């Protein structure tokens, strides 16, 4: 059978040439060419690869409070605010509004022009060049309204006569309304933006800048806060006075921002959709189902488990996966009276109301964006991106999972080593080990220039062997990780294990001319005499050994290993 031998196999998938039976001049094999021997052993073969990895809490994701308050109407707020004169209850801060439109006062060439609405119609004109124009009398007579500098065309009154209203150079010099609803406000130095004063008189008590609704106003009276430029950020108007809002920035357009940034508004159910952040968790805190992620206007925004976010306001007779998320969580939190499915029923709404009452928020039975946060499970706060008191819009915090995992950028040449469930051993910096298993395998990506074992030539793409495969491994026994929160580790990936198999050195394997493989059993004849070649079926190759099997192969059999 020796004539059928082609060569010895020296490695996986490679055939190594060798001299078999070479002899010295006296016919005996030379020492250098005399074959070595080995035995067929019964062993456990483990195919693995050790690669670097990183221990940590995984990739951090951002939590953002949605901008429900409105839309941008274009235009930025100019470098100033409304006029410098004192109003009835507060003082408007310097400068004037420049840029986009306002509601209740049209901006004209960078300044507020005060198209005043009285009973749903325009009572005046626009302010241009700092002067008041087009005062219209509504239900009253004009008294003493003379013009100085062509600024005011008569002071108009509401329910009374105007007393001594004289305009000098576009400014109202003290026209006080007799029998009207004005609070006696005196303006000086320019027009009042929003709360339009026509001849020293507020028409209808309606003010659009320091916004009052159906109340007694003195030239744009802001009660409870100073106006700082026209843009109301969380103040609402209630009963004729500003409810505590400060103005800063751009104009308010019915709850929408005309200055390019969101302006908070009060939503229909009474809960503030924008509002201000009033509580934030500490970094490292763990948030579980039903617990608050953060709070807006002292209303907690709780965590729900699931994969579909709350992208709309849910109410009775609505269907979808977001409904199932809500009902799954309500059931897990102990609420009843509904069936967990994709349909939002009146029973679901009742359960939501009970939950909302327990949370201390308005019990509307409606749930939607900004009222809860959805995540796959419990989360650990990685970092806080906001501060209490800030407007509740945009990034609030980042978070991760609650268990430490190991991330590996695996070179694609080892791609066949991993699949979901592949086991591994993680070696920590202090030498201790922990068992792990593959839970996620990403998509291979090319390494950046200069990464990997070499650098591609200029103008060429990364070499295939430089591409890496992101792999994530879970560590079931978290206590084995000790106090390490983030650390470099060594990961030994175990791709395959073959227990209780027969194996020989790879170099003992020879290829047959007619196909297949064999091993040469050490002969019993004189040195250099041909041995006995027995066919084998090779199995796993690992660490210089190969699994073999065949009808005439047994443990302890001595085989030839060519040098």
pLDDT band, very low/low/confident/very high, at 92 (cuts 50, 70, 90): very low
The two tokens of residue 502 are 């027969």
Instruction: Show the beta-strand stretches assigned E in 82-240.
Output: 107-108, 111-112, 117-118, 121-122, 146-148, 161-163, 166-168, 171-172, 176-178, 237-238
- Within 10 A of 357 (CB to CB), how many other CB atoms are there? 11
- Within 10 A of 81 (CB to CB), how many other CB atoms are there? 26
Distance between CA 200 and CA 145 in Å, rounded?
A: 10
Q: What is the pLDDT of residues 385-411, one digit of tens each?
A: 999 999 999 999 999 999 999 999 999
Distance between CA 471 and CA 400 in Å, rounded?
A: 17
DSSP 128: B
The two tokens of residue 122 are 């325009």
Distance between CA 515 and CA 538 in Å, rounded?
A: 13
The two tokens of residue 57 are 């809490």
Using alpha carbons, list the distances in angstroms from residue 377 to 134, 196, 287: 63, 54, 9
498, 45 contact by CB (below 8 A)? yes
Distance between CA 270 and CA 363 in Å, rounded?
A: 10
> Is the model's pLDDT at 492 over the cut of 50?
yes
58, 407 contact by CB (below 8 A)? yes
Q: 526 or 285: which carries more pLDDT confidence?
A: 285
Mean pLDDT over residues 338-350, rounded?
97
**Highest averaged pLDDT of the listed ranges 115-119, 255-259, 404-408, 513-517:** 404-408
Distance between CA 357 and CA 348 in Å, rounded?
A: 14
pLDDT value of position 399? 97
Under CATH, which number does the domain 405-452+463-495 receive? Answer: 2.40.30.170
Mean pLDDT over residues 517-531, rounded?
76
pLDDT value of position 487? 96
Q: 101 or 384: which carries more pLDDT confidence?
A: 384
Return the domain boundaries, the chain: 2-45+507-558, 82-259, 277-400, 405-452+463-495
Mean pLDDT over residues 100-117, rounded?
36
Mean pLDDT over residues 268-290, rounded?
80
Residue 236's φ and ψ, nearest 5 degrees, are -110, 160
The set of residues, in sequence order, having a beta carbon less than 8 Å from that of 364 and lying 6+ positions away, is 269, 270, 271, 352, 353, 356
Q: 136 or 449: which carries more pLDDT confidence?
A: 449
Q: 521 or 158: which carries more pLDDT confidence?
A: 521
484, 428 contact by CB (below 8 A)? yes
- Fold match between 277-400 and 405-452+463-495? no
Torsion, CA 415, CA 421, CA 423, CA 424, rounded to 10: 60
Q: 29 or 183: which carries more pLDDT confidence?
A: 29
Beta-carbon-side half-sphere exposure of residue 78 (alpha carbons within 13 Å): 19
Partnered with residue 497 across adjacent β-strands are 46
> Is the model's pLDDT at 274 over the cut of 50?
yes
What is the helix (H) or strand (E) element at residue 434, kind and residue range?
Answer: strand 433-441
pLDDT band, very low/low/confident/very high, at 507 (cuts 50, 70, 90): very high
pLDDT value of position 180? 39
Q: What is the pTM of this model?
A: 0.51
Mean pLDDT for the chain overall:
68
Closest to 75 (Cα-Cα) out of 107, 105, 103, 117: 107
Q: What is the pLDDT of residues 526-559, one digit of tens each?
A: 666 667 899 999 999 988 999 999 998 999 999 9
Under CATH, which number does the domain 277-400 receive? Answer: 1.10.101.10
């Amino acid at each position: 059978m020796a004539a059928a031998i082609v060569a010895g196999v020296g490695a996986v998938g490679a055939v190594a040439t060798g001299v078999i039976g070479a002899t010295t001049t006296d016919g005996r094999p030379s020492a250098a060419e005399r074959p070595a021997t080995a035995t067929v052993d019964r062993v456990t073969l483990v195919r693995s690869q050790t690669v670097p990895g990183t221990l940590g809490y995984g990739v951090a994701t951002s939590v953002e409070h949605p901008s429900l308050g409105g839309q941008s109407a274009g235009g930025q707020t100019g470098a100033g605010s409304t006029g410098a004169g004192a109003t009835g209850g507060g003082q408007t801060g310097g400068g004037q509004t420049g840029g986009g439109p306002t509601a209740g006062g049209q901006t004209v060439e960078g300044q507020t022009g005060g198209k005043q609405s009285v009973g749903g119609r325009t009572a005046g004109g626009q302010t241009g060049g700092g002067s008041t124009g087009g005062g219209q009398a509504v239900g009253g007579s004009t008294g003493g309204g003379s013009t100085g500098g062509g600024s005011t065309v008569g002071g108009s009154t509401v329910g009374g006569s105007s007393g001594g209203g004289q305009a000098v150079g576009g400014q109202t010099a003290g026209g006080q309304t007799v029998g009207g609803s004005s609070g006696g406000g005196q303006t000086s130095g320019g027009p009042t933006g929003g709360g339009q004063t026509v001849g020293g008189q507020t028409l209808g008590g309606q003010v659009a800048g320091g916004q009052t609704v159906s109340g007694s106003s003195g030239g744009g009276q802001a009660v409870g806060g100073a106006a700082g430029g026209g843009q109301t950020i969380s103040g609402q108007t209630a009963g004729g006075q500003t409810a505590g809002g400060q103005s800063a920035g751009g104009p308010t357009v019915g709850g929408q921002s005309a200055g390019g940034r969101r302006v908070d508004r009060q939503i229909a159910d009474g809960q503030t959709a924008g509002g201000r952040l009033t509580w934030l968790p500490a970094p490292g805190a763990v948030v579980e189902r039903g617990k608050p992620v953060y709070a807006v206007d002292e209303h907690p925004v709780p965590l729900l488990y699931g994969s579909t976010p709350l992208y709309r306001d849910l109410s009775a007779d609505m269907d979808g996966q977001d409904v199932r998320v809500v009902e799954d969580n309500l059931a897990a939190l102990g609420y009843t009276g509904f069936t967990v499915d994709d349909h939002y029923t009146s029973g679901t709404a009742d359960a939501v109301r009970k939950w909302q009452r327990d949370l201390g928020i308005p019990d509307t039975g409606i749930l939607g964006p900004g009222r809860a946060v959805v995540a796959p499970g419990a989360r650990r706060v990685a970092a806080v991106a906001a501060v209490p008191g800030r407007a509740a819009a945009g990034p609030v915090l980042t978070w991760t999972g609650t268990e430490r995992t190991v991330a590996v950028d695996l070179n694609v040449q080892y791609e066949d080593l991993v699949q979901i469930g592949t086991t591994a051993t993680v070696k920590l910096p202090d030498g201790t080990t922990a068992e792990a298993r593959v839970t996620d395998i990403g998509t291979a990506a090319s390494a950046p220039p200069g990464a990997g074992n070499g650098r591609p030539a200029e103008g060429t793409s990364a070499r295939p062997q430089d591409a890496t495969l992101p792999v994530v491994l879970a560590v079931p026994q978290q206590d084995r990780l000790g106090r390490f929160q983030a650390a470099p580790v060594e990961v030994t990936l175990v791709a395959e294990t073959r227990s209780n198999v027969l194996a020989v050195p790879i170099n003992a394997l020879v290829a047959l001319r007619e196909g297949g493989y064999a091993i040469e059993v050490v002969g019993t004849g004189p040195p250099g005499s041909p041995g006995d070649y027995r066919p084998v079926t090779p199995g796993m190759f690992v660490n210089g050994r190969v699994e073999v099997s065949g009808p005439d192969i047994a443990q302890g059999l001595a085989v030839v290993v060519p040098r």
